[in-house]
């Protein structure tokens, strides 16, 4: 169980974050239990808060901690605590927590031709835009919420020149995977399937690196 104490947020490290990651994994996330509260852990917290009707801020305060403890058996997380001599609760964030651009782009490519269907998350069959990005990121060990706006808000906004394959390309109400070379892989109404196409308009770029 998560111990009472200070709010845990992005940038924190230590045994409390390890216990948090184990609890989130018990609730459907796919995090590396490394004690680093980086972008992937932040996104998993946001996902949990949305699914449980909590204030969505990506921070683990009393309300979110209580909900996690209620949904997680007391035995889960035992054995993850390190000794105080080895614990580091510094605010240094991890820049590469679970992020693999090759795995993300490869997973998105593997679903080309799947149907577009709003609200869907059915590998090999159908996706909506955020379902595809959620699936692709899961193959790199990163748990994203099934919401384009939450995915956009959970990462770090970057410029197009900073974007790398695997980052998110975001339009109002739509999201896709940056494939490099001004290309995006997305599930959209046109052509009503998962496809790779040229980036259009003036989207935002968001990274979880």
Phi-psi category of 32—alpha, beta or left, where left has phi over 0 and alpha has psi -120 to 50? beta
CB 114 within 8 A of CB 126: yes
Residue 109 a catalytic site member = no
Q: Which of 3, 154, 52, 30 is nearest to 17 (CA)?
A: 3
Residue 146 a catalytic site member = no
Tell me how far the alpha carbon of residue 74 is from its chain's centroid. 25
Work out whether the CA dihedral 8, 9, 13, 15 comes out positive or negative: positive
Which of 12, 47, 129, 167 is an active site residue?
129
Residue 186 a catalytic site member = yes
Q: Which residues are catalytic?
A: 129, 174, 186
């Amino acid at each position: 169980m998560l111990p009472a104490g200070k709010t845990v947020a992005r940038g924190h490290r230590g045994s409390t974050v390890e216990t948090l990651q184990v609890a989130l994994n018990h609730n459907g996330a796919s995090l590396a239990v490394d004690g680093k509260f980086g972008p992937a852990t932040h996104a998993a917290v946001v996902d949990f808060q949305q699914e449980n009707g909590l204030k969505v801020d990506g921070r683990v305060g009393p309300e979110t901690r209580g909900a996690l403890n209620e949904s997680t058996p007391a035995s889960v997380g035992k054995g993850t605590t390190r000794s105080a001599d080895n614990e580091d609760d510094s605010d240094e964030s991890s820049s590469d927590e679970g992020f693999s651009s090759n795995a993300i782009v490869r997973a998105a490519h593997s679903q080309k031709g799947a149907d577009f269907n709003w609200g869907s998350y059915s590998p090999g069959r159908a996706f909506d835009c955020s379902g595809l990005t959620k699936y692709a990121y899961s193959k790199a060990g990163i748990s994203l919420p099934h919401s384009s706006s939450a995915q956009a808000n959970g990462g770090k906004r970057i410029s197009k020149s900073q974007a790398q394959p695997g980052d998110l390309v975001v339009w109002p109400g739509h999201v896709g995977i940056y494939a490099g070379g001004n290309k995006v892989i997305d599930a959209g109404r046109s052509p009503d399937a998962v496809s790779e196409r040229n980036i259009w308009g003036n989207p935002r770029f968001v990274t979880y690196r």
